[in-house]
């Protein structure tokens, strides 16, 4: 059975590298350093011209996933824009203060997608208190997939929970494993969990250090990372080798 590789990117160079390396799908965002935020309208428009399906992350700020009404309005507008630009889907998520899925807000967001966009429940899912119950809510709401590390800092650390979610899903929703997945770890993850979709940044440290002036003015990060076509390719090679054993 084939395994799909989704690569998350936060700039145009990353989009190019992911496509060159052979990614099957893109999650488009900005600011990967804080887990990803909503990409700009311009980046969404550019991504929409590519041959790969592109999922736009809809996350208006860093931090937790309990949102104000003003933040909800921003997300509604960003989802409408993603649909207008012709992207394949959006990744959304929202929680209540009690760490349950915020079903009323998610229903509002989904209505804007209006059947035009694939729906991914993003890693807000990893903070819910009852993953099994949350998975049933996601299925009832019509999500196609859940992006999750199994409630752990990395997907390998959460492999037992990921396997449990795969068993519970029974083909009703896809479990997209993400967080800390590298080419040397992906085969073990697939074998341990049974997931058939993998999410990774495939980033490596930048080949050149930023200019001292950019660092001094705060215009660049000291330890910048870039999506690597070679890393995407290596990930696909490891996935292909494991597919023969599934």
Query: 3-class SS at 175?
Result: strand
pLDDT band at 245 (very low <50, low <70, confident <90, very high): low
Examine the pLDDT at 2 and tell me if it is beyond 70: yes
CB 135 within 8 A of CB 165: yes
Q: Quick one: pLDDT at residue 209? A: 74
In sequence order, the β-bridge partners of residue 6 are: 25, 199
**pLDDT tops 90 at residue 243:** no
Q: What is the pLDDT of residues 67-95, one digit of tens each?
A: 999 999 999 999 999 999 999 999 999 99
pLDDT of residue 109 exceeding 90: yes
Please give the model's pTM, rounded to 2 decimal places.
0.93
3-state secondary structure of 90: strand
Q: State the average pLDDT for the chain.
A: 94
* pLDDT > 70: percent of the chain: 94
For 226, the enclosing helix (H) or strand (E) is strand 225-227
pLDDT value at 217 more than 90: no
Question: Phi/psi zone of residue 50: left (φ > 0), alpha (ψ -120 to 50 degrees), beta?
Answer: beta
For residue 219, what pLDDT band results from cuts at 50, 70 and 90?
A: low
Domains and CATH numbers, the chain: 4-243 (3.20.20.380)
Distance from C-alpha of 8 to C-alpha of 72, rounded to nearest angstrom: 23
pLDDT in tens, 22-40: 999 999 999 998 899 999 9
Across the range 102-107, mean pLDDT stands at: 98
The pLDDT tens digits for 157-210 are 999 999 999 999 999 999 999 999 999 999 999 999 999 999 999 999 877 777
């Amino acid at each position: 059975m084939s395994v799909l590789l989704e690569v998350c990117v936060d700039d145009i160079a990353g989009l190019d590298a992911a496509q060159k390396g052979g990614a099957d799908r893109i999650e488009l965002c900005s600011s990967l350093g804080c887990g990803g935020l909503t990409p700009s309208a311009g980046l969404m428009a550019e991504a929409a011209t590519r041959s790969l399906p592109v999922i736009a992350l809809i996350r208006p700020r860093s931090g937790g996933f309990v949102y104000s009404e003003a933040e909800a309005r921003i997300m509604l507008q960003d989802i409408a824009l993603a649909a207008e630009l012709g992207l394949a889907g959006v990744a959304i998520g929202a929680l209540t203060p009690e760490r349950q899925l915020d079903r009323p807000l998610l229903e509002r967001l989904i209505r804007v997608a209006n059947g035009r966009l694939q729906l991914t429940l993003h890693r807000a899912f990893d903070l819910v208190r009852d993953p099994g119950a949350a998975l049933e809510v996601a299925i009832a709401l019509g999500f196609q997939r859940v992006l999750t590390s199994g409630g752990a800092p990395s997907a390998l650390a959460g492999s037992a929970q990921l396997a449990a979610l795969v068993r519970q899903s029974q083909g009703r929703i896809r479990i997209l494993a993400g967080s800390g997945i590298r080419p040397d770890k992906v085969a073990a993850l697939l074998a341990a969990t049974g997931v058939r979709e993998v999410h990774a940044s495939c980033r490596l440290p930048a080949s050149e250090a930023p200019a001292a002036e950019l660092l001094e003015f705060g215009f660049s990060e000291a330890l910048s990372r870039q999506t690597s076509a070679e890393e995407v390719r290596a990930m696909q090679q490891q996935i292909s080798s494991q597919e023969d054993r599934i």
